[in-house]
């Protein structure tokens, strides 16, 4: 079975529903708070996250991973909101970063440097120096050239840099072409046939504390079979290195678990955990996984207000105050996010719309030919885009409050269980 992006679905599947956003008496709520009332306090556009949904996802995954002993490092690139990072850190998660900026955000959130992994193909000398200076857990090395730079920086610091080498296993993740990272020719990792020689060389460098290997084959995986293939190849490399007298203590297994964007079923995390246990637990290595969107994707909504309606050819364009800079996936990947109304209605009449942002780019469109409830019943927000329209008379929009975009970030709105911010 394939989804609307042409991705093969995994079987069996489990649902991770965004149940932190229920309708109560026909109105959208987040953990007991009216989204409408939040928007009265926080200017749109803004993101709002359900802490309970994040907690539930983390707890579920951590429980399934117990037999393998794998620890979790959240992929900060999935959501770098400091409140979200603080929440996950409090649950026991480490952090997987890909930049110096993400390192600083993790530190600001109170994450221990000893629980931070530094990934990414383009680390600068300054970023490497900062990471070594604060004492992070490890640096995932992407190339021989990067390895030389890390050695030089560590030599100048007078320390040994904790590292693992990222293997490119040449495995097709069967995901979107732009987020597949484990095939030969991708810019990520070190070719699997080159690992043995480079590993042996790194093991002899006094500036390096070589701990093991890493692998990450892509993002938004709904079919789990590529994990089994990649981890099987990784296990083979471990055995080969050990047969040459080289120690392998850690295995960083990357992330990539996908989610459903139509409130359907996602990957079975029990099967995912079983693949890890069956493929790697017998090696006696310290294991780490790095989920991102799977933990936070179903927990957030982007709230935006409709500014104008205009007739464009045969359809109506609803211009909202959120833009591609707020949610880039539709313009970058052609991704489709669900759009839900602030208030449910018994009126089933629909019209064809496209939902567009205010950026001066034709690609700044969130949905095309979207069958929306007719304007007569609009008073809405969107989930994973959540939109609001105060009142419509024909195509004339009358706002009860401005809700206009501002150049500065909007301040946070929070309760004990909910975070809203401009990130």
The predicted-structure confidence for 344-378, as pLDDT tens digits, reads as follows 766 666 667 788 999 999 999 988 766 665 543 34
Across-strand partners of 71? Answer: 288
| pLDDT of the residue at 261 | 80
User: ∠ CA(82), CA(16), CA(357), 5° rounding?
Assistant: 60
- Give the pLDDT of residue 73: 98
Which pLDDT belongs to residue 404?
Answer: 35
pLDDT in tens, 101-118: 999 999 999 999 999 999
Number of residues written out for the chain: 423
d(CA 226, CA 175): 10
Q: What is the mean pLDDT of residues 134-155?
A: 98
> Averaged over 203-229, what is the pLDDT?
94
Return d(Cα 423, Cα 420) in angstroms, integer.
Answer: 8
Most confident stretch, 89-98, 168-177, 221-230, 303-312: 89-98
Average pLDDT over residues 403-419: 32
> Vertex 340, ends 325 and 380: CA angle to 5°?
85
d(CA 119, CA 122): 9
Q: What is the pLDDT of residues 35-53, one digit of tens each?
A: 888 988 999 999 999 999 9
Residue 383 has pLDDT above 70, yes or no: no
C-alpha distances (whole Å) from 412 to each of 5, 9, 120 are 34, 37, 30
- Of 205-209, 271-275, 285-289, 317-321, where does mean pLDDT reach its minimum? 317-321
The residue that leads in pLDDT, 64 or 398, is 64
Q: Please tell me which residue, 378 or 181, carries the higher pLDDT value.
A: 181
Active-site choice (48, 159, 285, 360)? 360
| Residue 149 Cα to chain centre, angstroms | 28
pTM, rounded to two decimals: 0.84
User: C-alpha 320: how far from its chain's center?
Assistant: 24
Query: Quick check: is 48 catalytic?
Result: no
């Amino acid at each position: 079975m394939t989804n609307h992006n042409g991705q093969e679905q995994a079987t069996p599947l489990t649902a991770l529903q965004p149940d932190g956003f229920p309708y109560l008496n026909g109105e959208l709520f987040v953990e007991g708070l009216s989204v409408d009332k939040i928007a009265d306090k926080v200017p749109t556009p803004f993101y709002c996250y359900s802490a309970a949904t994040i907690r539930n996802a983390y707890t579920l995954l951590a429980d399934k991973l117990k037999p393998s002993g794998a620890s979790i490092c959240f992929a900060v690139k999935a959501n770098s909101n400091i409140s979200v990072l603080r929440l996950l850190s409090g649950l026991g998660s480490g952090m997987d970063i890909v930049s110096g900026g993400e390192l600083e955000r993790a530190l600001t959130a109170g994450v221990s440097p000893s629980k931070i992994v530094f990934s990414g193909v383009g680390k600068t000398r300054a970023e490497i120096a900062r990471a070594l200076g604060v004492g992070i857990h490890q640096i995932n090395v992407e190339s021989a050239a990067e390895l030389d730079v890390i050695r030089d920086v560590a030599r100048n610091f007078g320390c040994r840099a904790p590292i693992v080498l990222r293997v490119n296993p040449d495995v097709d993740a069967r995901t979107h072409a732009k987020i597949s990272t484990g095939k030969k020719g991708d810019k990520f990792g070190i070719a699997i046939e080159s690992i043995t020689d480079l590993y042996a060389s790194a093991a002899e460098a006094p500036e390096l504390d070589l701990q093991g290997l890493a692998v990450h084959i892509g993002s938004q995986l709904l079919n789990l079979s590529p994990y089994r293939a990649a981890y099987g190849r990784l296990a083979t490399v471990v055995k080969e290195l050990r047969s040459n007298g080289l120690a392998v203590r850690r295995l960083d297994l990357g992330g990539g678990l996908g989610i459903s964007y139509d409130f359907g079923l996602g990957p079975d995390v029990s099967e995912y955990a079983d693949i890890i246990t069956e493929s790697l637990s017998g090696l006696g290595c310290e294991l780490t996984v790095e989920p991102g969107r799977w933990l936070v994707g179903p927990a957030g909504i982007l709230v935006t207000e409709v500014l104008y309606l205009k007739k464009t050819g045969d359809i109506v364009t609803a211009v909202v105050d959120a833009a591609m800079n707020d949610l880039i996936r539709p313009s970058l990947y052609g991704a489709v996010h669900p759009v839900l109304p602030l208030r449910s209605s018994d009126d089933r009449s629909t019209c064809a719309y496209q939902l567009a942002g205010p950026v001066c780019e034709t690609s700044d469109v969130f949905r095309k030919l979207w069958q929306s409830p007719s304007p007569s019943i609009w008073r809405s927000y969107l989930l994973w885009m959540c939109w609001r329209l105060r009142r419509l008379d024909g195509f004339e929009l009358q706002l009860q409050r401005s809700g206009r975009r501002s150049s500065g970030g909007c301040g946070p709105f929070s309760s004990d269980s909910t975070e809203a911010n401009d990130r």
